[in-house]
Amino acid sequence: MVQDPRPSGAPFKRLFFALPVSDQQCRALAQWRRGLNLRSGKPVPAENFHVTLLFLGDVDAEQVPAICAAVDQLRLPDAPLRLVLNRLQAWSRAGGLVLEPEQPPAGLRQLVYALQQAVLPLGLEGKPREYRPHLTLSRDYRAQVPEARQAPEFFLAPRHFVLYESRKERYWPLARWALDQ
């Protein structure tokens, strides 16, 4: 495993929690994105499509077991998560072209809050910001929202969420937790 040292010399990992997207959905999203004929930005590889729950950033590698143990204790949403990505947006400040849900499900916000609370005692709270569920289609996007031939409407019904490590523009799953109890 390749690990980059922090200035202190301790190895770290760039971590985030996310809802994975099935291979079939990745292909459908990539095909729909091709129809946008994007002339700006850098398309996210289809195999990296996901809906971020909580970005942890650079974390000491030795903290990964403690993070996993904390998440093992989560109280998960009672109802299955259902998410509809049906709104295309250009986030000019962040430089991203994203798909968002018009109505984020309450269970999704509950899961994100539970994750935030689980990692808080570990000193991993990060910057406080409003959670905006989204799937990034393109990074460094600096244009207006493109015209879509077909309105987006992608249904996600995740059965688990994942702790990923971001390494060399690839996302590596480190652990996963079932959502359907």
Q: How confident is the model at residue 9 (pLDDT cuts 50, 70, 90)?
A: low
Query: What are the DSSP calls for 152-172, one per residue?
Result: --EEE--SEEEEEEEETTEEE
Q: Does the active-site annotation cover 160?
A: no
Residue-level pLDDT at 78:
78
Stronger pLDDT, 88 or 79, i.e. the higher one: 88
Tokens of 144: 């207006």
CA angle 85, 82, 66 (to 5 degrees): 100
Residues facing 17 on adjacent strands: 54, 163
Q: How buried is 104 (Cβ within 10 angstroms: 0-12 exposed, 13-18 middle, 19+ buried)? A: middle
Residue-level pLDDT at 181:
53
The pLDDT tens digits for 109-162 are: 999 999 999 999 998 865 667 899 999 999 999 999 999 888 899 999 999 999
User: What sign has the CA pseudo-torsion 133, 54, 57, 159?
Assistant: negative
What pTM was estimated for this model as a whole? 0.89
Q: How confident is the model at residue 102 (pLDDT cuts 50, 70, 90)?
A: very high
Residue-level pLDDT at 75:
86
Residue-level pLDDT at 130:
84
> Which one of the listed residues 134, 141, 152, 165 is annotated catalytic?
134
Please state which CATH number belongs to domain 13-178. 3.90.1140.10
Place of tokens 């289809």: 46
Residue-level pLDDT at 3:
43
Residue-level pLDDT at 1:
35
> Which one of the listed residues 50, 54, 70, 119 is annotated catalytic?
50
Nearest to 137 by CA among 17, 40, 16, 54: 40
Q: Tell me: pLDDT of 45 over 80.
A: yes
Residue-level pLDDT at 94:
86
Q: How buried is 98 (Cβ within 10 angstroms: 0-12 exposed, 13-18 middle, 19+ buried)? A: buried
